[in-house]
A and B are shown apart, each in its own frame.
Chain A
Amino acid sequence: MVENVKELIKAHEGIEYEVYLDNENSTKVPYEIIEEMLPYYNKQGYGNPTLTHKPGWEAFEIIMQSAQKIAKFMGAGIPEEITFTPGVTEANNLAIMGLALSKRNTRKRIVISEIEPLSVLHVSKMLEKFGFFVSKIQVDDEGFINLEKLKETVNRDVCLVSLATVNNEIGTIQPIKEAVEIVKDINADTIFHTDASDAFGRIELNVQNLNVDLASISSYKILGPRGIGALYTKEGLEIERILEGQIGTQKLWPGIENTPLIVGFTKASELTFQNFENKIKNITGLRDKLKEGIFERVSDVKLNGPGNEKRSPDNLNISILRCEGEALTIELSLRGVYVSSGSACSRRLLQPSHVLVAIGRKFSEAHGSILMKITRTHKKEDVDYVLEQVPKAVNRIRGIVGSTGVD
């Protein structure tokens, strides 16, 4: 198997230019972030932050400063509201399972939407085995949650509502503030969690303004290192730990804090929010250029998700009809353009992306979907290169498809 992968990588020899657009699934970490992290491996703060010696106190100091900064960037009140977790998957699991555990003897209904990320869908599904009930709110053809349905669904039994602020696949910016108001109007005790990992660093996000109780964010989604994320837990809200072990500086997540990753995450946040408006303007400009360029050059393309300002500025998700997604990702890869697809083949499943199916895309449309995300490191030349390669790649794949597979 490893031999095969070596050959696959070798097949890319001779590529002169590369553009990485699969920032949904992992990102390149800019060097200045790594530089910031390095000293914390062996020069300072490499100790355990709960222990009484200099390297420990240095770790404690930088972790507290980092929590303070992350809290500020999220619009949280105090640093104690931030729990660093190994990623957004863990943050979502902690929020949902931790809250459910604390309410297990009283209220047992959880409300989510049908397009939540898998770390929300799967943990909710898992809780069903332990006697919880999960209701899924439908979305419209652009991925917006149906607020009327939410109103009908939330009742006195609901302990938790979890709705992502921005959908990770199709970029839909949900009316979270309105959703929170609806939920709290019906039942002030119902806890509201939002996976904000695709909102953080893309749209204005202020957890206090939104009045959410729990919010998850992720480092890699803002070009920080993988392996670190955070959960905001509103002051006064008690949820249970889902892992047990040595408790360090944070009561909700045991184990030794990963200081270098926390430092990298914080640096990534600082870079993201420096000149924030300008950065978003650039990202939006490049995304729109990419979108318009593809629509001009390739026939039979459909945009998945909203087409206006209700779409996250970095997100482009399109369905290229008569062009299977996995084949296209490989063809593009051999041309130095790295993207992902919601096709069943690409996901190793018979069913394509649950998000695309939920917004009413036909299976054949979902199989031809491509997801691309622009970051602050992309340049105009990158988009030009992608626009040169995409039509060539699509034409080649469509050449093999011919008249077969036409719905």
Chain B
Amino acid sequence: MDLQELINISRIPLPYSQKVIDLFRNPKNQGKMKNPTVIAVAGNPACGDMITFYMKINDQEVIEKITFESYGCAANIATASIVTEMVNGLNLKDTWKELSWKKVVEEVGGLPNVKSHCGILAVGAVKRGIRKYYQQKGLVPNWIPRGLTSEEKQALEEEELAEKLSKK
């Protein structure tokens, strides 16, 4: 354990917004889906943060239905829930272009800085899901960049770091 890291961090209270608490208490679109088109995951149990999205995508490439399961803190649950509401009914191209972690944070009425990564994880998972959908079809459209987006990258980094730390 790097103690210097610990020394530099204080325990500020977590001022979750009313929206976060509302979504924590009554999450929308929660639960596993039967026969989804794509299952997208980000995070892992070692991080203490993990989100699974189940997406039903129709022939017009529109997200017809999306549900989530979340292993994580209140911010994790709230951001996953809001993401399902934000992308439900959108086509994949618009979802890719319009969904950003900043928008997610905005939609939940703001998040404490230390919790921004929950929004990043949720968006990273959705983007992974879209990538996976086209890879399964063997046809990746040109609006999907080859390299990972910042959210996908950060989700990957968090997973790798938690794996590394937990194996120490």
Choose one: B7, B14, B41, B161; the contact of A404 (CB below 8 Å): B41
> Contact at A122–B71, with CB atoms within 8 Å?
no
Expressed in whole angstroms, the Cα–Cα distance for A1 and B112 within the complex equals 9
> Contact at A400–B7, with CB atoms within 8 Å?
no
Known: A5-B13, A348-B114, A362-B166. A401 touches B69 (CB 8 A): yes
* B166, closest chain A residue (CB): A363
Q: Is B153 an interface residue (CB 8 A)?
A: no
Please, which residues of chain A bring their CB within 8 A of the CB of B139?
none
Known: A4-B17, A7-B21, A367-B45. A345 touches B72 (CB 8 A): yes
Expressed in whole angstroms, the Cα–Cα distance for A351 and B35 within the complex equals 35
> Contact at B48–A367, with CB atoms within 8 Å?
yes
Please, which residues of chain A bring their CB within 8 A of the CB of B74?
326-327, 330
Expressed in whole angstroms, the Cα–Cα distance for A212 and B33 within the complex equals 61
Expressed in whole angstroms, the Cα–Cα distance for A125 and B21 within the complex equals 38
Known: A7-B21, A122-B7, A327-B72. A407 touches B114 (CB 8 A): no
Closest Cβ of chain B to A204, distance in Å, is: 33
Contact with A along B7-22 (1 / 0, CB 8 A): 1010111111110010
Contact with B along A72-94 (1 / 0, CB 8 A): 00000000000000000000000
Please, which residues of chain B bring their CB within 8 A of the CB of A401?
69-71
Expressed in whole angstroms, the Cα–Cα distance for A290 and B157 within the complex equals 40
Interface size class of B (residues with CB under 8 A): 35 or more
Contact with B along A364-407 (1 / 0, CB 8 A): 10010000000000000000000000000000000111111111
> Contact at A402–B49, with CB atoms within 8 Å?
no
Q: Is A186 an interface residue (CB 8 A)?
A: no
Q: Is B31 an interface residue (CB 8 A)?
A: yes
Chain B, 1-39, CB within 8 A of any chain A CB: 1, 3-7, 9, 11-18, 21, 24-25, 27, 30-32
Q: Is B90 an interface residue (CB 8 A)?
A: no
> Contact at A348–B9, with CB atoms within 8 Å?
yes
Expressed in whole angstroms, the Cα–Cα distance for A351 and B1 within the complex equals 8
Chain A, 325-359, CB within 8 A of any chain B CB: 325-327, 330-331, 334, 343-352, 354, 357
Q: Is B77 an interface residue (CB 8 A)?
A: yes
Closest Cβ of chain A to B35, distance in Å, is: 15
Expressed in whole angstroms, the Cα–Cα distance for A188 and B89 within the complex equals 75
Please, which residues of chain B bring their CB within 8 A of the CB of A367?
45, 48
Q: Is B79 an interface residue (CB 8 A)?
A: no
> Contact at A404–B69, with CB atoms within 8 Å?
yes
Closest Cβ of chain A to B39, distance in Å, is: 10
Counting chain A CB atoms within 10 Å of each CB, the highest count among B3, B11, B52, B73 belongs to B73
> Contact at B15–A1, with CB atoms within 8 Å?
yes
Contact with A along B40-56 (1 / 0, CB 8 A): 01001111111110000
Please, which residues of chain A bring their CB within 8 A of the CB of B31?
402
Q: Is B62 an interface residue (CB 8 A)?
A: no
> Contact at A350–B69, with CB atoms within 8 Å?
no
Known: A7-B17, A326-B73. A122 touches B114 (CB 8 A): no
Please, which residues of chain B bring their CB within 8 A of the CB of A362?
46, 166
> Contact at B3–A122, with CB atoms within 8 Å?
yes
> Contact at A8–B21, with CB atoms within 8 Å?
yes
Expressed in whole angstroms, the Cα–Cα distance for A285 and B48 within the complex equals 33
* A326, closest chain B residue (CB): B73
Please, which residues of chain B bring their CB within 8 A of the CB of A118?
6
Please, which residues of chain A bring their CB within 8 A of the CB of B76?
324, 327, 345
> Contact at B21–A11, with CB atoms within 8 Å?
yes
Please, which residues of chain B bring their CB within 8 A of the CB of A125?
3-4, 7
Closest Cβ of chain A to B32, distance in Å, is: 5
Please, which residues of chain B bring their CB within 8 A of the CB of A311?
none
21 A–B contact pairs at CB < 8 A?
A: A7-B17, A8-B16, A11-B18, A322-B71, A324-B71, A324-B76, A325-B48, A327-B24, A327-B73, A330-B21, A334-B25, A345-B48, A348-B12, A349-B6, A350-B158, A351-B165, A354-B1, A364-B48, A401-B71, A402-B69, A405-B70
**Chain B residues in contact with chain A, CB under 8 A?**
1, 3-7, 9, 11-18, 21, 24-25, 27, 30-32, 41, 44-52, 69-74, 76-77, 110, 114, 158, 161-162, 165-166
4 interchain residue pairs of minimum CB distance: A405-B71, A364-B45, A402-B69, A4-B15
| Supplied contacts A125-B3, A327-B74, A330-B24, 11 more A-B pairs, CB within 8 Å | A5-B15, A8-B21, A324-B73, A345-B48, A348-B9, A350-B47, A354-B1, A363-B162, A400-B30, A400-B70, A403-B69
